[in-house]
């Protein structure tokens, strides 16, 4: 297992393994009030998301990153201090992506 940092609204590169995965994210996301927002962090094809820990951070301009959550599996996940419980993680193996889910917007 290797950590992969994902910053919402940013493109990140992890440099901690022999093969360096490139992660990409969409520039923006729109959703309806009351719906669940689904942010994706897609890994390069040579890296299997199933083997990686996914760490989500929030970064606002001029501020340091804030740790949101860690996700490896449904039985191995942890929210950051003070992060509301409507934040959760998941993985989409078919898209080779980590997911940040924010429910009940």
* Model confidence pLDDT, tens digit, residues 42-95: 988 888 888 888 999 988 889 898 999 999 999 999 999 999 999 999 999 999
Q: Specify the pTM.
A: 0.78
Q: 90 - beta bridge partners?
A: 99
Residue for token pair 């590169």: 13
Q: How do the domains of the chain map onto residue ranges? A: 2-11+36-102
Per-residue confidence (pLDDT) for residue 12, from 0 to 100: 38
Average pLDDT over residues 21-38: 84
Higher pLDDT, 19 or 78: 78
Higher pLDDT, 42 or 23: 42
CATH superfamily, domain 2-11+36-102, is Immunoglobulins (2.60.40.10)
């Amino acid at each position: 297992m290797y950590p992969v940092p994902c910053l919402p609204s940013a493109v990140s590169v992890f440099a901690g393994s022999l093969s360096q995965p490139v992660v990409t994210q969409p520039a923006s996301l729109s959703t309806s009030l009351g719906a669940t927002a689904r942010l994706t962090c897609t890994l390069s094809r040579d890296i299997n998301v199933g083997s990686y820990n996914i760490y989500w951070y929030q970064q606002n301009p001029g501020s340091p990153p804030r740790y949101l959550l860690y996700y490896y599996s449904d039985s191995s996940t942890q929210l950051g201090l003070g992060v509301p419980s409507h934040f959760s993680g998941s993985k989409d193996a078919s898209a080779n992506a980590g997911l940040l889910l924010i429910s009940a917007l």
